[in-house]
Structure 1
Amino acid sequence: MANKFENYVDSILNEVELNNQNYNDLKSEILTYLNEKKEFYEGKGLDSDSAADASIEDFGESKEVGKDLLKTYLPYRKIALISVIISSFVLSTSVFLYSSFFANSVPLIWLFLMLSSAGVTSYFYFKPLKTAKYRAFFIGFMVVFSFISLIGQFYLEAIKHDIIYMMLFVLLIITFVAILTNIVIGAIHQPISSRFQILNTTQRRINVLFNLVSGIVVLGYTSLISVGFFIFGVPPSLAPITFVLFILGIWVISLVFSLIKVNLSMVGRLLQVGVVALVVSTFFSQKIIDVINNLF
């Protein structure tokens, strides 16, 4: 009888993205409920097997119960994952088809990386428990996926038709935001950091917001500079490289403070604000200089 309940509960929890602690707690809670319900039906005159079956029937079909629990523990996870899968597939195949017919360069490697990433995302969509079990890998994968998707911007630049360009650019942004949303959902509702676990939901949201915004600004800027080095060559002066390394170093330190040390989280946020302000001011200063040079 215990095996019947165990198997039933495991089939429910296979549909739910739960860390080990939540998994064990929820399993114990459901088993307790089922055993109490079984005793109730036995008191009504049913034999042990019939009482167990009636208890399971009352609780509901395992997959449906699991899906409802997933919405409770990680709201919008399924929507966020399916958004990534659909948008990345449509984006990559559209860019590939356009490039094949109207451009000289065909992004075969990028297409392969995008479709492979969409395939891995599909695996996590159908295996929620694996997402929780391999949370660190899932987050790292989503970070890499976000960079792969942004590479698509280089191929979009070859599109001469304004309407097609705008449609695919919007789709690129949707894909990027959907990927980031999956990172945020896990960080807020079931963080892997023990420092995050002791925070309430509001505090987690604030930390994630600072880390996310600063990460997009810093990593986006340094990635563009690095791609420029790769395309146009490393400049003779070491100043640009030193600046990029300095920005990355400050941001990593701020991230460590915000993730590990509770009493240093405010210092981490101040460092993040500072490094974002430095990047933004540098970027716009260069734009202003370029405009002035073009005028004169």
Structure 2
Amino acid sequence: MSEPRSQDAASDLGSGSRRRTWAELLAGRVKRQRQGLGREHKLQESAVRLLRRHLNLNDLLLEVGGSACKTLCLNQWMDPEASADLSSSFIGSALRDEASRLGVPVAVLSSRAVASSFVQICASSGEPSHRVLLNAEQRKKMSSLLEVAQYLLAHSMFSRFSFCQELWEVRSSLLLEAVWHLHVQNLVSLQELLESHADTQATVAWLFKDLCVLCEQMEASTQHTDIARAMLSDFVQLFVLRGFQKNSDLRSVEPAQMAQLAMAVLQRMLMFALEALATGLQDESPAYRAVKSCF
């Protein structure tokens, strides 16, 4: 009699809480693994944010073990003579190893390194007055740096987005010609860089100020006239194309943002030119001569 009662009890238990199938057990395991990966991803993102805020890359690379890696100082990247023996592949390999040791994406580390050197080149002129053009030494250093950056980009070791964000944080330290070289060397286009900054008004103010200085320096010196004219032509061409293009995709936000930025810059440049021509026609003011030279 006890055996039938046991079977009935087992049957009652099964009706209340059935055994899970293998598929359900495996699904639960996969879900837990995904949750673990999600936490790991969030932890990695936090580490990247901490790295971007507090890491001094010059000190970091100098602390890497081995005499070869100790020569990989960011200051040497900017000096073509000192970095002649450091190939792009060697620099890329050292950055990959260091990113692996730190547990951060190599593209983030490389972008931060290139941005740091980029800003140092812009600040190395030693001239207190506001400038937008590089000197000959700066152009040589910039060419070497961008060659390394292009190698990193070609080997999926460079993040354009991270690089742009780093540059916008130090916008006041940038030279307009250096930004233009990013476009010419096919590293980061002018449109991509401008669209990466959410504050359109700040971008317009920065561009307008530097374009005015570009016109003044173009009129004051004939040494860099060709480069200055090429810069102005590329910027104006971009603003005209993007400012007056018809946006066929109404769901797209970035073209609308770029069109707004382009129209704002063109409007301010036009007002500047008209005011300079109107007030400086009699006395040949510097602004009048600059506008006449550029336009």
Q: TM-score, normalised by structure 2?
A: 0.28
Whichever structure has more helix as a proportion of its residues is 1
Asked which structure has the greater CA Rg, the reply is 2
Q: Which has the higher contact order (CA 8 A, sep 6+)?
A: 1
Q: TM-score, normalised by structure 1?
A: 0.28
